[in-house]
Copies of this chain bind each other. A is one copy, B any other.
Amino acid sequence: MTVSRVLKDEHVSAATRERVLAAVRELGYRRNEVARNLRLGRPSGMIGLVVTNLANPFYSRLALGAEQVAEQHGLRLVLGNTGEQVQRERELVEDLVSRRVDGMIVVPAGATHRHLSSAALGGTPVVLASRPPSGIDADTVLVDDFGGAQAATAQLLAEGHRSVGFLGNPPALFTGAERFRGYWAAHEEAGLTPREEWVRRGPYDIPTAEAAALELLDREDAPTALFCTNNRITLGAYRAVLRLDTDTALAGFDDFEMADMLKVPVTVVSYDADEVGRRAARLLLDRIEQAPDKPPGPARRTVVPTSVVRYGV
């Protein structure tokens, strides 16, 4: 008991304090935070972070941003990787609740999110990142997929391109659908309609993107520019451009190193991935720190802006 008081810095006589501290040093005693939290009726002082693929730099930056904010509030980050498997996601969030995390940030893998609602998780606060909730209400942080794609495509059109191809994720992915919508909207705004023959919504990595681009650029009516929905696909398209030695202009979502050193002009949609993590952590902390008796307040949504960067030849 006296030790507890000393460590909490309560009124203890200087003499006993010293004796206690000496013993603490000698024994290497460390207060058991687990037992402490249990006794205090508090959660674990950790926040869960469930991502789909930590190998993707976007998510590791997100993790870093979240860690920064969590750290400032004395919270640790518990990490889980789902590999886009909904089953794994279910197990992970369940486990995090059982470990009594203060809250969690989730990049949802599947199409249905009922198991991610705060209610389904026994009231544990949840923030969704990168993909919006479907079928539930939840705080969310998104990237401006639509706006970024639109602006980049508009840039190609403004440069005079009238045949802009599309290379991107399947529409089942929210980001894929949004970025396609942006591509389309830019055309409409310019009074144009994209040709479906120039749209490839299958490629998902460098080789498949390269193949799709080769096929597209090999047509008689090949597009003179390509919009790519992420940097893997942009790189694949660039490989195709190099191989065919065309001067196809490229635009793509996600900035990447060396974008300024390619042999064709590249326009890139850039954004701050750390910021996605920081905002998610802040939304979560708002929920966590809110008095638990008050009514929860409506779900909030914030969109991280993008900017278009044009790299010359």
Contacts and interface: CB of A to CB of B under 8 A. Distances in A.
Interface in A28-87: 28, 30-35, 37-38, 44-46, 49, 54-55, 57, 60-61, 63-64, 67-68, 71, 76-81
Contacts of A238: 258, 261
A275 to B, nearest CB: 13
Given A57-B57, A64-B54, A235-B257, A30 B77 contact: no
A198 to B, nearest CB: 24
A173 interface: no
Contact of A80 (B54, B67, B99, B242): B67
Contacts of A63: 54, 60, 79
A219 to B, nearest CB: 23
A116 B135 CA distance: 47
A263 to B, nearest CB: 8
A99 B54 contact: no
Interface residues of A, number: 47
B80 A79 contact: no
A181 interface: no
A60 to B, nearest CB: 4
Interface of A: 28, 30-35, 37-38, 44-46, 49, 54-55, 57, 60-61, 63-64, 67-68, 71, 76-81, 94-100, 120, 122, 206, 235, 238-239, 242, 257-258, 261, 274
18 contacts: A28-B122, A30-B97, A30-B98, A30-B122, A31-B98, A33-B100, A44-B99, A46-B99, A55-B60, A55-B274, A57-B57, A68-B81, A76-B79, A78-B78, A206-B257, A235-B258, A238-B261, A258-B258
